[in-house]
Structure 1
């Protein structure tokens, strides 16, 4: 079984719960274990919140938008959030280590790393500007899953 969807969203706070609800609905319909669905939805929320906060720039044509793509393929889910902001510097340590316990910012990428099985954070290729945050998680299925992977 394969399911994928892609959203082009405005960089507005109201877009974050929309992406989260769509992911949770897809996972529930497919029969993904609720704990796995919850972990992925929290990670997606953090990635979208980062795109909303940091993902725009005046030089980029799509400064007011970001994209979320989700793939459920067999036993794996991959989620990718792409924005058109400044991206990451080559040695950018954001998310590389846990933030200080009193920090008000910088927890999102660390949390994504804790919830997902594999995380890739980079600038968009080709010098187009923007960041790409993608993460994978191995899926578990409910016993009554209607769309069980084969």
Structure 2
């Protein structure tokens, strides 16, 4: 089975739960194990929150949107969150937040919850693309197959 969807969302806090609910609903309908769905939905929430907070130019006319794309293909789910912000610092300048910090732990959390993470710039456009994937486990009775 192969399912994919893409959303173009405004950089507003209200867009984050929308993306999360769509992902959870898609995975539930496809029969993905709830623990895997939960891990991916938390990782998506963190990536979207970063795009909302850091993902655009505050100048007039700057981008006020970001894009979320999810692919459930075979035994893997891949999610990409792309924004048009200033991008991340160079890898050698990026330091994870301290364990007791209130902000800055999202990328580390994404790395812990998924199997593979890639963080980079959009080629030629600036901005950041956070992509991650996870091997899927399935329930015995997916809604999509019984409907």
Look up the match of 1:140.
Answer: 137
Quote the residue 1:81 is aligned against: 81
Instruction: State how far apart, in whole Å, the 1-side matches of 2:78 and 2:22 are.
Output: 14
Q: Which residue of 1 aligns with 2:105?
A: 107
3-state SS of the aligned residue for 2:69?
strand
Q: In 2, Cα distance between the equivalents of 1:101 and 1:64?
A: 31
Q: How many residues align?
A: 145
Matches within 5 A, 1:123-134: 123-126=121-124, 128-134=125-131
Write the distance in 2 (CA, Å) between the matches of 1:44 and 1:85. Answer: 18
From the superposition, tell whether residues 116 and 93 of structure 1 become closer, same or farther in structure 2 (CA, over 3 Å): farther
Structure 2 CA distance for partners of 1:60 and 1:67, relative to 1, 3 Å: farther
Mapping of 1:37-56 within 5 angstroms? Answer: 37-56=37-56
List, as ranges, runs of 4+ consecutive aligned residues in structure 1 with deviation greater than 6 Å.
Answer: none
| C-alpha separation in 2, matches of 1:123 and 1:144 | 40
Q: 2: CA distance between counterparts of 1:43 and 1:92?
A: 23
2:23: which partner in 1?
A: 23
Say whether the 8 Å CA contact 1:31–1:146 is kept in structure 2.
yes
CA distance in 1, matches of 2:101, 2:59: 30
TM-score, normalised relative to structure 2 = 0.91
CA contact (8 A) 1:81 1:132 kept: yes
Quick check: 1:71 aligned with 2:71? Answer: yes
CA contact (8 A) 1:60 1:84 kept: no
